[in-house]
Structure 1
Amino acid sequence: MFLLVNGLAVGSVAGVSRAVRTLGRVRTVVYEFPSDKDLVRSAQDGDTASFGALLERHWAGMRAVALSVLGNRPDAEDAVQDASLIAFRRIGDVREPESVSAWLRMIVRNSCRSRLRSTPPTTPVADLSLLVAETDPEQIIDRHAMRDWIWQAIDELSPTLRMTVMLRHFSPRTPSYDQMAALCGIPVGTVRSRLGEARKKLVEAMAATADSVHADVLAASRASARDAVETLAAAEQGRFAQLTAERWTPDAAYYEGRQRVGGRDFLIRGMAGDLEAGVRQRFVSAVTSRDTTIWEMDMVNPPDAPDHCPSAVAWLMTMKDGRMHQLRLFHAPGVQDGRTPPTRV
């Protein structure tokens, strides 16, 4: 059984142990509430109920920090929700469980400062590749299972909500609200409302899929990373048109917001133009879901034109039957100096 506590799915009596004492003919039930350390250890082992209980315990303090920094109640609530998702993904990083309260407040404070600067959160999603570095098989299984569970829940969202929550919480270079609005061709207010709806439905989906068999997200991300590397290699080897014919839909196109700018030929010419100008892209990371994939790339400009392109770009791709169907680009904040982003791959 799951309950929704402060926006998260938790168990009905999360982490609470019970001891029974008998004094003569009087039977006394004593409930012993776990320490922060106990809850953190259980959450790190994959017990989401313990994580929910941990958030419930510290929610008031997290909210107080957000209100003290932002003042505005709706913004503060959003910041705490953002911080909660970050904490959920990063709970395995906690090395001093007894100090988890300070750790949670720090994440909230960083989330608030990010909003004040109108930049992405300073605590990014944990890199899926870090899983490979683990040496404890049980730890690998626990983290792998929790990550697969989260992405299974994301796949239960509608395409628009899935894209919104991936951009905000799981993309390598998280865009600001304004950037998300421009990227998707919608008002900023719609971005905020979609995020609110996505968070609510994500929690519901996580509760509904808690006992399900989840797809192997790590394998999917590795496959997507290989596709990205092969795509860039094909472009540099003059095989970009051939590769896109095999891996993109026939009507694949580049979009700015909701406006279609050009088709596959347009994208092929754009890539060729960059290569002729001496611009190269270097793959960094990939995140992928049922129909949305994000590739992060570094842009390497030629020495004689260091400002030719922004220093980093992410490909936001809408997939159709496993093939790239729509492409949008967004750049790391602050790297464009106010210039209009180039419409090139």
Structure 2
Amino acid sequence: MWGEAEAVVGAVAEAERLEDAALTRAAQAGEVAALGLLLERHRAGMRAVALSILGPGADADDVMQDAALTALRRIDGVREPGSVGAWLRMIVRNASRNVLRRSAVLDPLDDIRLPPDEEADPARWLERNALRDWMWEALEELSPALRMPLVLRHFTEQVTSYEQIAKVCGVPVGTVRSRLSLGRVKLAAALAANAETGHSDTARRVRASRFEARETLDAAERGRFGTLVTERWSPEVALLRGKDRIGDRDILVRAMDGDIADGVRQRLVNAVAGRSLTIWEMDILNPAAHPEHCPPSVAWLMSLDAGGRVRGLRLFHPRPVQAIEMLPAL
């Protein structure tokens, strides 16, 4: 009898493994319903992991929400579809531990940092993931106030913590939490609504944005940044800090020209490109004589008009020199 019971348990486990495998392959092919079923099947196990590390509360809820979007981004990287449950629990475990590490230090850290493998690179994911166009089409359905926090948290490399997003958007951390929560709900609805429609080519847009970023940096080094801004950006382009306008085209050009004259250079490390929002993450290379001239990195967060021209630019330094943001250093 004991042997029969073991056989029954084994048969049930094998059936569940086969069902997981079928749902994973369907999700990898872009079926939103399949991913939803996978998350629902393993929700209890995922939540148990979050609660065992973080205990009940807002952090565990946030990790669960983030895990769903991480699964959407990385489902195509699952090599053993029948073991997707363990993969989902690993995502929750890593995210929960990162939350603990973040709370243990004074300086904010990225809340979710995926393993440093090929799938964790946002640019490579955007080029390869079969769901990328569908995801971005859904993001474009959101309001700018909801879209910006989601894109920063899940697609940039250095501007992902609640504190950083709050500084960029000019809102309290609590508002960032609520916008992320509402944004995820609306994103899920938009994903479902857009599942069967045609989607724009995100990979092509990202490649074009990288090329444009390098053209922009090259123009700056040749003293033509002002000309490029005049030709390609909106005449009403505004430099923003949070929600406030603090400058216009002239201050942008003066700041860039001043940095170039002082020997400062920038190098593109990541590009995120939607129809209404583009982000360039740059390393800043200071001259040897003045190694602390500018912070070591900067993110260009550009809001675009209907014609694709930059109409609003926020500059954010994820690691400001001596914890002071230096604006408007580009």
TM-score range, shorter chain: 0.7 to 0.9
46-55 vs 246-255, greater mean Cα deviation:
46-55
8 Å CA contact retained: 1:165, 1:198:
yes
CA contact (8 A) 1:89 1:126 kept: no
Choose which of 150, 156, 168 in structure 2 pairs with 1:183.
168
**Candidates 80, 83, 90, aligned match of 1:99:** 83
User: Cα distance 1:318–1:199, how it changes in 2: closer, same or farther (>3 A)?
Assistant: same
- Summarize the Cα distance change of 1:337–1:94 in structure 2 as closer, same or farther, 3 Å threshold: farther
SS of the residue corresponding to residue 181 of structure 1 reads: helix
Deviation sequence 1:2-44 (CA, Å, 0-9, x none): xxxxxxxxxxxxxxxxxxxxxxxxxxxxxx7643333222322
Counterpart code for 2:314: R
1:259 is displaced (CA, Å) by: 2.2
Q: Quick check: which one's strand share is greater?
A: 1
Structure 2 partner of 1:127 = 122
Unaligned runs of 5+ residues in structure 1 are 1-31, 133-139
Partners of 1:337 and 1:98 in 2: how far apart? 49
Deviations 1:320-340 (A, max 9, x none): 1311111112233x5644223
Matched, 1:110 2:110: no
| Letter paired with 2:265 | R
Give the alignment partner of residue 81 of structure 1, picking from 39, 62, 65: 65
Alignment of 1:1-345 (within 5 A): 34-116=18-100, 117=102, 118-120=108-110, 121-123=112-114, 126-129=121-124, 143-144=129-130, 146-321=131-306, 322-332=308-318, 334=319, 336-345=321-330
| Partner Cα separation in structure 1 for residue 67 and residue 299 of structure 2 | 23
Contact 1:315 1:328 (8 Å CA) reproduced = yes
1:270–1:170 distance in 2 versus 1, CA, 3 Å: same
Q: Deviations over 1:257-310 (max 9, x none)?
A: 122221111011111111122110011221122211111111111122222222
Contact kept in structure 2, 1:51 and 1:88, CA below 8 Å: yes
The TM-score with structure 2 as length reference comes to 0.85
The farther-off stretch of 321-330 and 66-75 is 66-75
**Structure-1-length-normalised TM-score:** 0.82
Letter in structure 2 aligned against 1:294: I
Runs ≥4 residues deviating over 6 A? none
Q: How far apart are the structure 1 equivalents of 2:148 and 2:271?
A: 14
Greater shift in the superposed pair: 199-208 or 295-304 = 295-304
Give, as a single letter, the amino acid of the residue that structure 2 aligns with 1:94. V
1: CA distance, partners of 2:321 / 2:282: 15
Flag the 1:125–1:262 CA change in 2: closer, same or farther, 3 A.
farther
Between the two proteins, the alignment pairs up a number of residues equal to: 303
